[in-house]
Amino acid sequence: MIKKSLFLLLLVLTACQPSNNFKNPVSDVASLGLVPKPQEVQLKKGAFLFDADMPFVIDSGVDNRIDGFVKKEFPHHKIIKNKYSFKGKGIVLSLIKSDTLLQKEMYLLDISPNGVLISADTSQGLFYGLQTLRQLFPDVMDDTKQDTLPALHIFDRPQFGWRGAHLDVSRHFFGMDFIKKYVDLLAKHKMNTFHWHLVDDQAWRIEIKSYPKLTKIGSVRKETVVKKHFKPFVGDGKAYGGYYTQDEIREVVAYARERYVNIIPEIEMPGHSLAALAAYPQYSCTGGPFEVGTKWGVFKDIYCAGNDSTFVFLENILDEVMDLFPSKYIHIGGDEAPKTRWKACAKCQQRIKQEHLKDEKALQSYFIKRIEKYVNSKGRQIIGWDEILQGGLAPKATVMSWRGEKGGIAAAQQNHSVIMTPMKPCYFDHYQSKDKDKEPFAIGGYNPLRAVYNYNPIPKELPANKRGHVLGSQANVWTEYMASTEQVEYMAYPRICALSEVLWTGSSRDSYDDFIQRLKRHFHRLDAWKVHYRHLTKEDE
Ligand code: ACM
Ligand code: ZN
């Protein structure tokens, strides 16, 4: 309330200045094509004439990431840092501190014939206000030209704090430019989390200084299975590799930070570890030797849970990972770890006996809890796929529910934080059409745009007092069948547009039809950003 009255005061002050007589160029909110849709948009009378010499007036307490955004999008415009010395027309970015605790990502955007005012509690809120403002300008911007902005009032805030997308760079590798583009596109959709799946059976893709063989050996596979020719195996006969140096990782982290995107690195354990074991077989149960995976699926050879040196190895890796990524959360995988080797391993069996564990599932729980303790000792927290519920959840772990919502519900019932990313509809490696023959080859399944748009990350079964444990949701982009950046974009967009609205606009979003109308306008932006998105078909409309 305090904030709203302060804001009204500012509006009155700006309204006292002389105004122009331009008509509002739009007559309905949908034609603005804003994605994700703000919580409240009211069109007003008139328009604001944005001139080439119009300054951006940025509050002195605002984070310099905001200056960075303005400089990038409006390179010819002056930035004035003292709003009190400023008189005249401009784009004012203002922090309003109040006693009322408001959501940190919230913003207000007011456009009148007399000026533009974005106000927020935090710089991050201003960032999202700027993203909305940017969508009101032409898609391809020439900031030396005059533009007309519709007079309006927007009140906006996200429903969910975790608005994410994941990308698997192990199955296929994508270079720095693409990773940055992927992150930038997330920020443009007001998404704030990038889950970077850096290692798996088919490659280890992050330089670890203390274990150079992880990338020397683990980042290259000798060939790749063709489509689904697993048995008999048909490979393409071509070596495939790539990894990110630590300097490159730092560069991406800094790039994402500029855009208020947090990166969650994922280091898989105890399963999906064949590439690491090919480099360091001594941390397996059998001692190897192993080859980096050449086909997709689940592999029996996983880290040995009975060998203390396995934990030293993983802790040393995690030290370097935590040094690179400031994220509070570190994803430690935990999914799809067959217990075959542990059952036959004397060391693993000895551990079960010594620790009075019931079985191999309890050994998995021991493994995750031991790693959690280490990660917690460094002031961080773990996230794991829902298999980490097996044998008992680690005390502070956050669960990423992928095999449906059951795991997420069970974790929330135990008062653990949850990220909902059930295969249906959050796996964006699934087909987007029933007509699979007309689509590029994919892993299977069917997750059309409509299903994504209609997703609600809060399961009905969850009692009201547990719903707060659901932090949000994310898209998972597994790349077994995405060998090119174009294919990744085709699978991710426009489904990420729909998910951004599920997570940002949340329960106050309008109908799917309304989304489709705005999306058609938004496609012009995706064109300007050179995104290789999938076009709508009759099935989608
Ligand atoms: C997963 O899809 N194995 C998390
Ligand atoms: Zn073992």
> pLDDT digits over 458-472, tens only?
999 999 999 999 999
Residue 375 in this model has a pLDDT that exceeds 60: yes
Q: For 74-91, write each residue's pLDDT tens digit.
A: 999 999 998 777 888 999
Handedness of CA 327, 240, 274, 420 (dihedral sign): positive
Residue with the smallest CA separation from ligand 1 atom 3 is 335
Contact 400, 427 (CB under 8 A): no
- Domains in the chain, number: 2
Question: CA 432, CA 461: separation in Å to the nearest integer?
Answer: 28
Residue 538 lies inside a defined structural domain of this protein: no
Nearest atom of ligand 1 to the alpha carbon of 333: 4
Q: Is the pLDDT of residue 16 over 50?
A: no
Kind and range of the H or E element at 150? strand 147-156
**How many Cβ atoms from other residues are within 10 Å of residue 237's Cβ?**
9
Instruction: In whole angstroms, give the CA distance from residue 453 to residue 206.
Output: 34
Residues 6+ apart with CB under 8 A from 143: 52, 73, 74, 75, 76, 77
Q: What is the mean pLDDT of the chain?
A: 94
Given 128, 156, 184, the domain boundary residue is 156
CA distances from 32 to 1, 73, 158 (A): 28, 19, 19
Question: Which of 4-8, 65-69, 285-289 is predicted least confidently?
Answer: 4-8
Q: How far apart are CA 79 and CA 57, in angstroms?
A: 6
Looking at residue 437, the DSSP 8-state letter turns out to be G
CA of 336 to the centre of ligand 1 (A): 7
CB 182 within 8 A of CB 193: no
- Write out residues with Cβ below 6 Å of ligand 1: 335-336, 385, 402
Is residue 128 domain-shared with residue 184, that is, in the same domain? no
Q: Is the whole model's pTM more than 0.85, yes or no?
A: yes
Same domain, 134 and 229: no
Ligand 1, closest atom to CA 476?
2
- Could you tell me the residue range of the domain that residue 98 belongs to? 4-156
Query: What per-residue confidence (pLDDT) applies to 62?
Result: 96
Q: Is residue 536 part of a domain?
A: no
Residue 384 sits in the same domain as residue 408: yes
476 alpha carbon – ligand 1 mean position (Å)? 9
The ligand with the least distance to the CA atom of 310 is: 2
How far does Cα 352 stand from its chain's mean position? 37
Tokens of 55: 């300054």
Give the distance from CA 163 to its chain's centroid.
Answer: 6
Query: Look-up: residue for tokens 């002031």?
Result: 379
The residue among 127, 156, 185 that closes a domain is: 156
Closest atom of ligand 1 to CA, residue 272: 3
CA of 284 relative to ligand 2 center, distance in Å: 6
Q: How far is the CA of 286 from the centre of ligand 2 (A)?
A: 7
Domain closes at, from 133, 156, 179? 156
Q: Which one of the ligands is nearest to 383 CA? A: 1
Q: Which ligand sits closest to the CA of 336?
A: 1
Instruction: Report yes or no on 540 lying in a domain.
Output: no
Closest CA to 33 of 517, 513, 509, 493: 517
Catalytic residues: 200, 272, 336
Q: Does 127 share its domain with 171?
A: no
